[in-house]
Chains A and B, each alone.
Chain A
């Protein structure tokens, strides 16, 4: 072998090695149980796709949102797959920040996705994100306490019934609060609950001309009911309680009822963490007889940013992680009760899942009952049940949430909170060009 042949051979080997090198996908995600579980189950994907490696960036929800927004807006190209919520998908798709998911594969069965969830992720007829897990909200209640109160929880309760039950179940001496609801300020905290609840009272954030509606009687009725109920039957310091705080209270047996995300059902019925696991019943989110229930609709989804150089590999991963096959993997390794819920019709038709998850039917009914395009009784110019899918909502929702949290804490009256909410929202919507 002469020198020339040796050099040529070496160069070719280097080039081939370069081409054969695995492509690395950087996936931005949040620290939720289902997401963490997925990171331990990716062997199945990497075995089938040895040319693709996965790197995870796990961040706190708001930091993730901020980081991903900066990266997409500046075309930084740091991420190949994003975990984003239902709120972001329509806004980012409209901005051209996300790639449409056109090649999820022949056996992906996109029609199996729950229609309510799928519609929230679709813009101009194209799917821009694939749901990893979905949720609505519902009533979780203590069957023993409601029985003791001499009541029977209907499958579809009214707010009037919930109020009566909460007050009857409250036993402060025994440390039992009739009801635990979100009070911590934030667009995804108390405002997710209150916005969804306000729909049942016929309230809305804006009328058809984007005029804020906090000065209308429907919002007054919503907030009056909430503050009075929490004062009579809620836990102390409720204005600091979010999902996690209420979860801990319910698991310790300190709540008669809790109205929150359907995903909590698997936590409160898990005997490892919950002291009341075998005493929990479920019901639809309450209404007031106006035809709308206060149940929200949310999904954590996988999407591909427009700036990625690895779109093909990224779509392969998204397809795998949100497929029926992935649900089977989780079921085989962790049991059916632990599969990511709320995304596929076939899961809810599966007898094994129905058996393992007593909350399955109520979760499906809650998701199906949510209508993001017509969330309230009166028409609205926006999409979203517990949020308004406009970029300004994060800031607005948090500001209004702080006012409502202050009203709950007794730092201001309901009327003052609503008046200030109306003032702030009108100013911001005028500034944003929505109100001419």
Chain B
């Protein structure tokens, strides 16, 4: 009897999980479907069966240099992730293993910067970028995205590091490990799942960031978000082309997410159940 209840429960929760997954994935699925419609079909209303035309992909390819934008997206998202990790691993280590009575306040303050609307600091940031010659540069955008995502990266790593028993680090110190050796040879290997999932999440966040990447670039450093933005038109049908551009822009990150989902889930649930 208990077994029957358990099976029913499993089936129920599986169905619920599938429904939730479908609801979450549906906008992406519909974008992909729309990209295979003609412009007239695309604006006609809800329709799940496209005619299968690839004319929008051809038009997008003819109108823009996809690989230039793609390369910028890769450089900016990977670069900002590595830079963020370089700063946040020692920071999170310090907060997790040598906390002071202000550590929680500092963490909260870091997180509070994420609550500030980006538009509110648009002009000061733009002026800083202008004065330092960083407008439309990959380096400038890498620094910007590092700053934006740093609070989340520090928070995530702090949470993972807190799960690692301090005794292991103490033992390594007893064995004569230096501070850097302790972080590099003991802490990092143990926190690999956490660091990897933080890295993946940060790449996704940086890849999808649209406010600053559109506003601080023109031609040289413009990533795929700017590529998508260029296909919206005030006079003329554009939904199919915009969907094709969006599909091309999200495809690399979707594929990366697909292949690394085990790692991502493992990292995100690390220490969640004790």
Contact = CB atoms under 8 A, between A and B. Distances in A.
A267 B236 contact: yes
B82 interface: no
Contacts of A67: 214-215
Interface string B39-78: 1100110000000000000000001000000000000000
B164 interface: no
B28 to A, nearest CB: 20
A273 B43 contact: no
Nearest to A56: B219
B123 interface: yes
B229 A32 contact: no
Given A32-B236, A57-B219, A252-B40, A78 B230 contact: no
Contacts of A244: 43, 233, 235-238
5 contacts: A55-B219, A61-B234, A66-B215, A248-B44, A251-B40
A36 interface: yes
Contacts of B236: 31-33, 244, 247, 267
Given A243-B234, A244-B43, A244-B238, A78 B218 contact: yes
A56 to B, nearest CB: 8
A253 to B, nearest CB: 11
Interface of B: 39-40, 43-44, 63, 122-123, 126-127, 130, 135-136, 214-215, 218-219, 222, 226, 229-238
A292 B210 CA distance: 44
A252 B222 contact: no
B108 to A, nearest CB: 31
Contacts of A419: none
Given A26-B219, A70-B123, A76-B130, A31 B40 contact: no
Contact of A243 (B126, B127, B215, B235): B235
A142 B126 CA distance: 51
B40 A248 contact: yes
B142 to A, nearest CB: 18
B232 A60 contact: yes
User: Which 4 residue pairs are nearest across A and B when measured between Cβ atoms?
Assistant: A58-B230, A60-B232, A248-B43, A55-B219
A66 B235 CA distance: 19
Contacts of A55: 218-219
Contacts of B226: 57, 59
Name which of B40, B130, B230 has the most chain A CB atoms within 10 A of its CB. Answer: B230
B239 to A, nearest CB: 8
Interface residues of A, number: 40
Contacts of A245: 43
Nearest to A78: B218
Contact of B123 (A61, A74, A251): A74
A295 to B, nearest CB: 17
A129 interface: no
A33 B40 CA distance: 16
A347 B229 CA distance: 33
B38 to A, nearest CB: 9
A264 B236 CA distance: 8
Name which of B135, B218, B219, B234 has the most chain A CB atoms within 10 A of its CB. Answer: B234
Contacts of B237: 244, 247-248, 273
A28 B215 CA distance: 12
Contacts of B231: 31
A121 interface: no
Contacts of B219: 26, 55-57
Contacts of A264: 235
Contacts of A263: 235
Contacts of A76: 126, 130, 135
A233 interface: no
